[in-house]
């Protein structure tokens, strides 16, 4: 049978089956017979006792029993004759009086009888215990004299009305001192007097008063309860206080529910959820759970409400609609599952650490890389994945990540099998959805990168060694060449005058060019180390001197520079010589190409010394200008110029368009290298006349003397 639908009549029938007509029964026996909780049986038995159908009393400190009066459904109306102090007439009357006395003594309620003169004719033990507080005996005394206060009280009014109308009455009354207690009084009039039953209902009135106090206390909660309902339910599962909106039954109001039974007031689906919660609370148990009602989700909370003695006299139930929250949680769960799937699909290691430095989350790559199972990782510190020599550094990096917001570190992880794998870890500090500070990071296997770096370092070391060998070879070769060149120059100057002057000139020039080539080679191979001490160099004077040495009568030089710089004059002379010869060789107005073929950018000294070549070197009218720039100088000509897409390539070593004519492609490479050695910016561009222009900026000046 459903607990909320058990009627007092059903409990009475079960009590009779349990033997209540023969002997007192307990609430537990009745509950077992009905198939309900002891609390439900207790509530229904109290209802029957309130009606006067059965009687009850305490047995010991916490137990109670119930029984039926001898005449069944209603308390017996005593016959005042024979109980008024007049001796019975014997026989059957004596027997009946004896039985009545025995019955009234068994009744747990207080009972007394008054005759039509308002004198006590009988008082049972319970009544004497309660109202004979002077211990003077009540039988034979006038009721109005014993209880003078009752004359103008509700008690006196009810008694007089009952006798006048000969109608029974029942009412609640507060007895003043010395009892100071509430009683439920039932008075049954007859022509010969008044029979009165009364019992102490102080506890019940106290509970009602406490419920009323709780009602007042919960009014604010009830009226302002958010997004749900709150209710105070009495032991009979009736609503005492209600507020809010019942789950999925918005049409029900407070007026509809207060004073009504929970089971009868709610839809069956909802009642099946809340009634067990209220019953458990009335049995002293708290509960909290979530359940679906219809298409909505609710969170329920049931609490026992206790009086000052600790006894449960009501149950508090609360519910809140959590449908939106549950939907958010489901979306968050789906999103988290999506994120987890994405992270697990990443080959790199992903992890989240809390502020204590322990793992909060990781993806599938962590166990795949380390060889540890998830349950092992959950019990491990991140530091355990590194060699002891690296743990202090890794711990410091974790602290740095939390303090500075981000961190990057490279370290070798040690797998479960003992293998070492180099990783790069990058992490950032974030606030988790719960508000905690966490460190989220990614670890990437850099084995291939480390191997490439190792090979690159090896290649650099090998290149440096090769450069050292090349520099050593260049120095040795320069030393070995200078000796025969010097000897050749000396002996050339000692040739007799009748020697062929043209041949001597070419031999001398060849020796000079070899010496120049040695200087160029040293700069290209040794860089800064090949350049001597920086001294003041007058650009204009050096430019004119170098031009005079070239002997190109058909070409012209204009010097429009007034600048003294700090450099090695020998190499500045080489720079001008290469630029001038490049302009004369490839800038002749009669030698301009008819198409976009590039000019040769090499030294004229590389050409064979024959008459035809000499004629080509005359320049045929090319004009060369050495001019001033704000931070340097330039050398320009009015020749054929350099195509834009080849202006960077002309500085590369070996670049030449005149290889068949002996060009080496080292002339402009030397110019670029020398500029780099001195920290100058060197660029090739077009001159105002359409020819080639080489600009040098950021050239160090020689400070003037003051």
CATH number where 628 lies: 3.30.565.10
- Answer yes or no: do 384 and 240 share one domain: no
Cα–Cα dist 308/300, whole Å? 26
Element (H, E) at 346: none
pLDDT of residue 239: 83
Query: Which residues fall within 8 angstroms of residue 221, CB to CB, at 6 or more apart?
Result: 230, 243
pLDDT of residue 300: 92
CATH number of the domain that residue 52 is part of: 1.10.10.10
CA angle 170, 173, 177 (to 5 degrees): 150
Query: Is there a domain that residue 706 lies in?
Result: no
> Quick one: CA torsion of 499, 505, 511, 512, rounded to 10 degrees?
150
- Answer yes or no: do 569 and 690 share one domain: yes
Which of 408, 424, 445 terminates a domain? The answer is 445
pLDDT, averaged per 10 consecutive residues of the chain (706 residues), comes to: 66 86 83 82 83 76 71 42 45 49 57 92 87 82 89 91 92 80 90 89 78 65 66 85 62 67 85 91 92 86 84 86 80 68 71 88 88 91 91 92 91 91 90 83 86 82 65 53 62 63 66 64 58 84 91 89 90 89 71 41 39 43 93 93 88 64 64 86 93 93 62
Range of the domain at 579: 531-697
Q: How many domains does the chain have?
A: 5
pLDDT of residue 340: 67
Tokens of 398: 């974790």
Query: Which residues fall within 8 angstroms of residue 110, CB to CB, at 6 or more apart?
Result: 124, 126, 127, 129, 130, 131, 183, 197, 198, 199
Which of 445, 468, 483 terminates a domain? The answer is 445
pLDDT of residue 256: 65
- Answer yes or no: do 196 and 209 share one domain: no
- Answer yes or no: do 55 and 145 share one domain: no
pLDDT of residue 249: 54
- Answer yes or no: do 162 and 264 share one domain: no
- pTM, to two decimals: 0.34
CATH number of the domain that residue 358 is part of: 3.30.450.20
Query: Is there a domain that residue 479 lies in?
Result: no
Alpha helices in 18-173 (DSSP H): 27-34, 38-51, 92-106, 125-131, 143-146, 154-165
Q: Is the CB of residue 581 less than 8 Å from the CB of residue 547?
A: no
pLDDT of residue 2: 47
Query: Is there a domain that residue 526 lies in?
Result: no
- Answer yes or no: do 274 and 362 share one domain: no
- Answer yes or no: do 671 and 571 share one domain: yes
Query: Is there a domain that residue 475 lies in?
Result: no
Query: Is there a domain that residue 286 lies in?
Result: yes
- Answer yes or no: do 192 and 247 share one domain: no
pLDDT of residue 629: 94
Any bridge partners for residue 58, and if so which? 64
Query: Is there a domain that residue 456 lies in?
Result: no
Which of 144, 167, 200 terminates a domain? The answer is 200
Query: Is there a domain that residue 478 lies in?
Result: no
Query: Is there a domain that residue 482 lies in?
Result: no
- Answer yes or no: do 304 and 344 share one domain: no
Cα–Cα dist 284/506, whole Å? 124
- Answer yes or no: do 561 and 668 share one domain: yes
pLDDT of residue 484: 62
- Answer yes or no: do 188 and 222 share one domain: no
- Answer yes or no: do 238 and 306 share one domain: yes
């Amino acid at each position: 049978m459903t607990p909320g639908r058990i009627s007092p009549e059903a409990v009475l029938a079960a009590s009779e089956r349990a033997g209540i007509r023969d002997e007192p029964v307990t609430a537990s026996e009745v509950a077992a017979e009905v198939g309900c909780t002891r609390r439900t049986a207790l509530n229904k038995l109290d209802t029957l006792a309130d009606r006067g159908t059965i009687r009850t009393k305490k047995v010991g400190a916490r137990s109670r029993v119930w029984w039926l009066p001898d005449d069944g459904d209603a308390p017996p109306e005593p016959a005042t004759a024979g109980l008024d102090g007049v001796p019975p007439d014997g026989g059957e009357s004596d027997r009946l009086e004896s039985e009545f006395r025995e019955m009234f003594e068994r009744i747990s309620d207080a009972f007394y009888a008054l005759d039509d003169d308002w004198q006590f004719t009988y008082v049972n033990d319970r009544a004497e215990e309660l109202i004979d507080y002077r211990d003077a005996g009540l039988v034979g005394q006038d009721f109005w004299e014993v209880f003078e206060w009752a004359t103008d009280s509700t008690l006196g009014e009810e008694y007089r009305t009952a006798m006048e109308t000969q109608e029974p009455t029942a009412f609640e009354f507060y007895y003043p001192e010395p009892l100071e207690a509430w009683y439920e009084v039932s008075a049954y009039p007859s022509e010969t007097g008044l029979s009165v039953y009364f019992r102490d209902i102080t506890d019940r009135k106290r509970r009602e008063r406490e419920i009323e106090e709780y009602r007042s206390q919960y009014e604010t909660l009830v009226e302002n309860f958010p997004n749900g309902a709150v209710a105070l339910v009495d032991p009979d599962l009736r609503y005492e206080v209600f507020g809010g909106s019942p789950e999925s039954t918005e049409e029900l109001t407070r007026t509809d529910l207060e004073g009504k039974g929970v089971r009868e007031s709610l839809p069956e689906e909802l009642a099946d959820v809340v009634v067990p919660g209220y019953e458990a609370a009335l049995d002293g148990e708290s509960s909290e759970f979530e359940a679906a009602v219809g298409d909505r989700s609710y969170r329920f909370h049931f609490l026992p409400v206790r009086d000052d003695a600790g006894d449960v006299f009501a149950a508090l139930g609360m519910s809140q609609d959590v449908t939106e929250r549950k939907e958010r949680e489901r979306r968050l769960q789906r999103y988290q599952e999506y994120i987890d799937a994405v992270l697990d699909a990443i080959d790199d290691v992903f992890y989240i650490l809390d502020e204590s430095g322990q793992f909060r989350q990781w993806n599938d790559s962590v166990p795949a890389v380390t060889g540890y199972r998830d349950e092992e990782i959950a019990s491990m510190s991140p530091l355990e994945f590194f060699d002891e020599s690296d743990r202090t550094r890794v711990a410091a990096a974790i602290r740095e990540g939390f303090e500075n917001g981000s961190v990057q570190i490279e370290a070798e992880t040690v797998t479960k099998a003992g293998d070492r794998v180099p990783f790069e870890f990058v992490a950032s500090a974030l606030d988790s959805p719960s508000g905690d500070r966490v460190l989220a990071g990614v670890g990437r296997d850099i084995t291939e990168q480390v191997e490439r770096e190792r090979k690159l370092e090896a290649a650099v070391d090998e290149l440096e060694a090769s450069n050292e060998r090349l520099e050593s070879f260049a120095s040795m070769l320069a030393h070995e060449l200078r000796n025969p060149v010097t000897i050749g120059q000396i002996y050339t100057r000692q040739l007799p005058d009748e020697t062929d002057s043209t041949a001597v000139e070419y031999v001398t020039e060849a020796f000079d060019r070899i010496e120049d080539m040695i200087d160029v080679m040293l700069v290209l191979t040794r860089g800064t180390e090949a350049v001597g001490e920086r001294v003041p160099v007058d650009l204009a004077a050096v430019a004119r001197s170098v031009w005079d040495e070239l002997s190109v009568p058909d070409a012209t030089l204009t010097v429009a520079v007034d600048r003294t710089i700090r450099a090695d004059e020998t190499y500045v002379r080489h720079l001008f010589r290469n630029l001038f010869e490049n302009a004369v060789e490839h800038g002749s107005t009669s030698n301009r190409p008819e198409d976009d073929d590039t000019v040769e950018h090499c030294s004229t000294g590389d050409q064979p010394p024959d008459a035809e070549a000499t004629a080509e070197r005359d320049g045929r009218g090319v004009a060369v200008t050495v001019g001033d720039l704000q931070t340097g100088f330039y050398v320009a000509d009015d020749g054929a110029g350099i195509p834009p897409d080849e202006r960077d390539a002309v500085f590369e070593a070996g670049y030449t368009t005149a290889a068949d004519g002996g060009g080496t492609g080292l002339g402009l490479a030397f110019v670029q290298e020398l500029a780099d050695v001195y920290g100058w910016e060197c660029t090739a561009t077009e001159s105002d006349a359409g020819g080639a222009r080489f600009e040098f900026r950021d050239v160090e000046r020689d400070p003037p003397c003051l």
